[in-house]
């Protein structure tokens, strides 16, 4: 009986996924538990394994489609199974599967040295025709292709009568330019040749910016002197979700903002003490620890609003905004109120690396109760952040810089930082919000209170 493959839900707030690549061709054999397709959400790039084995009878959504969650994307079943009625129900069309050609025996000293078994047995063939004739590959070539996530049917064969052998697959893989998923997406949609682009990323990997730069250079060459060219880049699934959530936040919440300057002298001393003890602690770690403690004292800032009331959270899950290629991720430090400063530092560092490498799991960015967004490293003195729903507050952190301030009627130079609190005025009034921000200030200026 045929099985329907749907767009899976990866995360509580996911509504759609971007189908980036099919790892099996329509009509091809699918092995249960092996990679079937690649997808992109607003936060992750994921390779999904086949839940069922059989023949990929029909691909309902092609690579490049944005598909709502739970919507059918493919059908897997037996090779000769009639799925016409099922396709009608799904709104598709009748499908005809190309049968596998008869197996052909192969004998060659070259291929026998690679696969000891293929000199005496027939070589398995693919299910569908993707060229003018059937494509033949040795078992080891297929295994290597699966391990490297390569469609062996695209590999030129150097064996007898075009047989694809293992070294063909290895050579093909080595020739494929290394590129990020977003770079491949942009290149495919804009017709850019990755083989002609020099990568500037880690290990010379081609990034989205490399592709955009190449496209811009091509357009510049085609532009008539004295005029300006244009280029269009695709909107990633991540960018779509960020745009939607920010619009939702501004339209549904009564957002207000308070700002406060913080003297970071004692925080600097605390960090230096950790540094002398060879313990790596960042200023953002100290801020996260102070915010976590303050939230336990001001529960209205650690809440969310629903239709029939306000939910007060008895736990603190701190979101930390991380800028990544193509958008913004907010991984969450769960139970931050129960952690020491060093524990928060370790968890935050790990989440930041996973976010930039797109290795976050859904559990890493779900369940946040309050967010801290730090743009100090970008030389931003202060800014007004937008609340991340369903939370009611977000703290914007500006850069720390030396300023002239008045202390005991004397002008002195102190390391200062501006904090900006945006909050949902439907839930929190101005005075309590100001008290919360003042408490964060007190903790930063007197970090001994964290003990």
What's phi and psi for 391, nearest 5 deg?
A: -65, 165
- Residues 211, 284, single domain; the answer is no
Closest to 169 in 3D by CA, of 183, 156, 159, 188: 156
* Catalytic site positions: 425, 429
Domain total of the chain = 3
pLDDT exceeds cutoff 60 at 314: yes
User: Is the torsion defined by CA of 350, 354, 359, 361 positive or negative?
Assistant: positive
Task: For Cα atoms 116, 120, 123, give the angle at the middle one, nearest 5 degrees.
Answer: 85
pLDDT exceeds cutoff 90 at 433: yes
What's the pLDDT score for residue 288?
Answer: 97
- Residues 194, 296, single domain; the answer is no
Q: Is the previous residue joined to 97 through a cis bond, with omega within 30 degrees of 0? A: no
Q: Which of 222, 246, 278 is the endpoint of a domain? A: 222
- Residues 8, 76, single domain; the answer is yes
**130-134, 316-320, 438-442, 443-447: range with lowest mean pLDDT:** 130-134
pLDDT bucket at 319, cuts 50 / 70 / 90:
very high
What's the pLDDT score for residue 226?
Answer: 55
> For residue 266, how far is the Cα from the chain centroid?
37
Who wins on pLDDT, 48 or 92? 48
- Residues 314, 423, single domain; the answer is yes
pTM above 0.75, yes or no: no
For residue 204, the enclosing domain spans 181-222
**33-42, 182-191, 317-326: range with lowest mean pLDDT:** 182-191
Residue linked to tokens 């085609």: 222
Cβ neighbors of 16 (< 8 A, separation 6 or more) are 7, 66, 67, 68, 69, 237
- Residues 253, 402, single domain; the answer is yes
What's the pLDDT score for residue 175?
Answer: 79
What's phi and psi for 333, nearest 5 deg?
A: -90, 100
Does residue 102 lie within any of the structural domains?
no
Q: pLDDT tens across 358-394, in order?
A: 788 878 888 999 999 999 999 999 999 999 888 999 9
pLDDT exceeds cutoff 50 at 113: no
pLDDT bucket at 13, cuts 50 / 70 / 90:
low
Q: Which of 82, 97, 112 is the endpoint of a domain? A: 97
- Residues 262, 389, single domain; the answer is yes
Cβ neighbors of 407 (< 8 A, separation 6 or more) are 414
- Residues 254, 334, single domain; the answer is yes
pLDDT exceeds cutoff 80 at 62: yes
What's the pLDDT score for residue 224?
Answer: 56
Does residue 158 lie within any of the structural domains?
no
Closest to 441 in 3D by CA, of 273, 256, 259, 255: 259
- Residues 216, 256, single domain; the answer is no
- Residues 245, 383, single domain; the answer is yes
- Residues 318, 190, single domain; the answer is no
What's the pLDDT score for residue 114?
Answer: 39
Residue linked to tokens 């967004």: 373
Q: What is the CATH number of the domain that holds 2?
A: 2.40.50.100
- Residues 199, 75, single domain; the answer is no
């Amino acid at each position: 009986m045929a099985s329907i493959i749907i767009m899976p839900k990866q995360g509580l707030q996911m509504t759609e996924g971007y189908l980036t690549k099919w790892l099996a061709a329509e009509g091809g054999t699918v092995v249960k538990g092996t990679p079937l397709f690649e997808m992109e959400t607003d936060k992750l790039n994921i390779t999904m394994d086949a839940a069922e084995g059989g023949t990929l009878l029909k691909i309902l959504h092609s690579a490049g489609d944005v598909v709502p969650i739970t919507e059918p994307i493919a059908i897997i079943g037996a090779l000769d199974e009639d799925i016409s009625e099922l396709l009608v129900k799904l709104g598709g069309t009748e499908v005809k599967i190309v049968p596998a050609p008869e197996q052909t025996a192969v004998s060659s000293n070259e291929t026998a040295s690679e696969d000891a078994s293929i000199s005496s047995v027939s070589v398995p063939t693919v299910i569908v025709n993707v060229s003018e004739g059937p494509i033949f590959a040795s078992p080891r070539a297929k295994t290597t292709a699966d391990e490297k996530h390569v469609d062996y049917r695209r590999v030129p064969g150097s064996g007898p009568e075009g047989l694809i052998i293992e070294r063909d697959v290895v050579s093909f893989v080595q020739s494929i330019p290394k590129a990020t998923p977003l770079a491949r997406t942009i290149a495919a949609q804009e017709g850019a040749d990755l083989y002609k682009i020099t990568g500037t990323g880690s290990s010379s990997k081609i990034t989205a910016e490399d592709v955009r730069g190449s496209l811009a250079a091509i357009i510049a060459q085609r532009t008539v002197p004295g005029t300006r060219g244009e280029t269009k880049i695709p909107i990633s699934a991540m960018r779509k979700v960020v745009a939607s959530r920010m619009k939702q936040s501004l339209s549904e919440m009564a957002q207000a903002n308070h700002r406060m300057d913080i003297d970071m002298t004692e925080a600097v001393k605390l960090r230096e003490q950790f540094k002398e003890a060879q313990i790596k602690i960042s200023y953002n770690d100290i801020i996260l620890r102070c915010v976590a403690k303050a939230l336990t004292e001001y529960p209205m800032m650690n809440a969310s609003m629903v239709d029939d009331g306000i939910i007060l959270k008895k736990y603190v899950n701190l979101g930390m905004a991380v800028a990544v290629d193509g958008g913004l991720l907010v991984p969450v430090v769960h139970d931050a109120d129960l952690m020491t400063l060093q524990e928060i530092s370790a968890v935050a560092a790990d989440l930041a690396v996973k976010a930039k490498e797109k290795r976050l799991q859904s559990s890493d960015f779900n369940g946040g109760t309050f967010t801290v967004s730090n743009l100090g490293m970008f030389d931003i003195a202060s800014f007004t952040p937008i609340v991340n729903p369903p939370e009611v507050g977000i703290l914007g952190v500006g850069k720390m810089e030396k300023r002239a301030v008045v202390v005991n009627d004397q002008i002195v130079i102190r390391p200062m930082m501006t904090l900006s609190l945006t909050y949902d005025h439907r839930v929190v009034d101005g005075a309590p919000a100001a008290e919360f921000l003042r408490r964060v200030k007190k903790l930063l200026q007197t970090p001994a209170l964290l003990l």
